[in-house]
Amino acid sequence: MSWNIVFFSLLLIVVAIMTKIIGCGIGARLTGFSREDSIKIGIGMVSRGEVALIVANKGAAVGLIREEYFAPIIIVVLVTTLITPILLKLAYKGKKRKYSECCFATLIIKISDICSRFFARKCTLKTIKL
């Protein structure tokens, strides 16, 4: 493996992580989540799993991806999958939140609100009690 491929792999990892955090964070922010929760949502979306592997494999099979770029894509998939739980643990570190204050409860409320606006009537969502 040449230094160019190593540099490309590191750059691809950084770009993959940052684009997910920023892109998904902006989407969450636009739907009314707090800055802190938006970052947590973005971090939760960092992982790139089997879909990226399938796309990379198909791309290599039909000749869209050269062999030297296949390994960095696999490395990105592995690193982002392994780093996501670590980043989430760091993002949630220090604050104990009640169940009613967590992102999931906020998400349920927002989905219900969007559903009500879209269908012009009150929508109820069933929640599972923990």
Q: How far apart are CA 107 and CA 99, in angstroms?
A: 12
Residue 112 is predicted with a pLDDT of 61
Coil, strand or helix at 46: coil
Computed over every residue of the chain, the mean pLDDT equals 81
Burial class (CB in 10 A: 0-12, 13-18, 19+), 115: middle
**Nearest Cα to 40, choosing from 99, 127, 104, 98?**
104
Confidence band of 42 (pLDDT split at 50, 70, 90) = very high
pTM of the model: 0.67
Over the stretch 73-101, which tens digit does the pLDDT of each residue have? 999 999 999 999 999 999 988 766 554 45
Residue 49 is predicted with a pLDDT of 75
**Statement: residue 110 has pLDDT above 80:** no
> What percentage of the chain exceeds 70 in pLDDT?
72
Residue 67 is predicted with a pLDDT of 84
Residue 95 is predicted with a pLDDT of 66
**Statement: residue 54 has pLDDT above 50:** yes
| Between 56 and 127, residue with greater pLDDT | 56
Q: Which CA distances in Å does 123 have to 10, 99, 105? A: 46, 22, 16
